[in-house]
Structure 1
Amino acid sequence: MALAYDDTNIFARILRGEIPCDKVAENDHALAFRDINPQAPVHVLVIPKGAYVSLDDFAANASDAEILSFTRLCAQVCTSEGVHLAGGHDGFRAIANAGPHGVQEVPHYHLHILGGRVMGPMLARKA
């Protein structure tokens, strides 16, 4: 069962200006801001301004302009935060959680960009 978009979610409220955020960058179709509970020295969320629940929803239903703007804003954030690979930087991790099995907490598509330290293994191995 697909997760329904809830326009009262915290990211929708941030986009409407009802809740402040620590903005990193913005363009016509996306917004990037610092996570309020950072898990790394760099922890920025990038969200589309449209009502998309998850990566698969965004990839299937967003316009080409929205997808391009979102992706370019991600690149801009990586550069401005000093985690991009160009120029010898050490890189980053990008995470998008989706649905209950992905432990998605907010039903608005968002990409976590984390960096500034080694992130460790992505998942614990199970025997």
Structure 2
Amino acid sequence: MSDTIFGKIISGDIPTEFLYEDEHCVAINDIHPQAPVHVLVIPKKGIPRLVDATADDRDLLGHLMLAAGRIADQLGVADAFRLIVNNGAGAGQTVFHLHLHILAGKSFAEGQMTG
């Protein structure tokens, strides 16, 4: 378990309402939302950054993607959402415990990254 705020949330040291929980991850609302729906999907295993993941984490990384889809569906936003992973401070990562951002409820069109 990491010694970050997410590690403390997962361990129960910081009481938080989970929107989703399974044996590998939890999901919580972001306390500084950037969209009407802004949920964090956090693995229970503390990996500081995506680049710190190893081949042993392959199944966990896939699980996080599948969980994000299920959570988006549960929240009623499965038709249109953005999934973001920030890697490092220069990319906007502020908590060094890997996590995925589910953003939805607004348009992500003109002038923003598309693909």
- TM-score tier after normalising by the smaller chain length: 0.7 to 0.9
Query: Which of 67, 70, 76 is the aligned partner of 1:73?
Result: 67
Larger Cα Rg: Structure 1 or Structure 2?
1
Residue-by-residue CA offset, 1:53-85 (whole Å, 9 max, x unaligned): 122323644152x23432221111110111112
Asked whether the 8 Å contact 1:34–1:43 carries over to 2, the reply is yes
The percent of aligned pairs where both chains have the same amino acid is 38
Asked whether the 8 Å contact 1:29–1:48 carries over to 2, the reply is yes
CA RMSD of aligned residues (A): 2.0
Task: Name structure 2 gaps, 5 residues minimum.
Answer: none
Aligned residue number for residue 10 of structure 1: 5
Q: TM-score when scaled to structure 1?
A: 0.78
Query: Which of 42, 48, 61 is the aligned partner of 1:47?
Result: 42
Shift of 1:115: 0.3
Q: TM-score when scaled to structure 2?
A: 0.85
Aligned residue number for residue 88 of structure 1: none
Partners of 1:41 and 1:75 in 2: CA distance: 17
Partners of 2:61 and 2:32 in 1: CA distance: 26
Asked whether the 8 Å contact 2:50–2:87 carries over to 1, the reply is yes
Task: Name structure 1 gaps, 5 residues minimum.
Answer: 1-5, 86-90
Aligned residue number for residue 112 of structure 2: 122
Aligned residue number for residue 31 of structure 1: 26
Partners of 1:58 and 1:79 in 2: CA distance: 27
Asked whether the 8 Å contact 2:2–2:45 carries over to 1, the reply is no
Partners of 1:23 and 1:72 in 2: CA distance: 17
Shift of 1:18: 0.6
Instruction: Please give the secondary structure, in 2, of the residue aligned with 1:31.
Output: strand
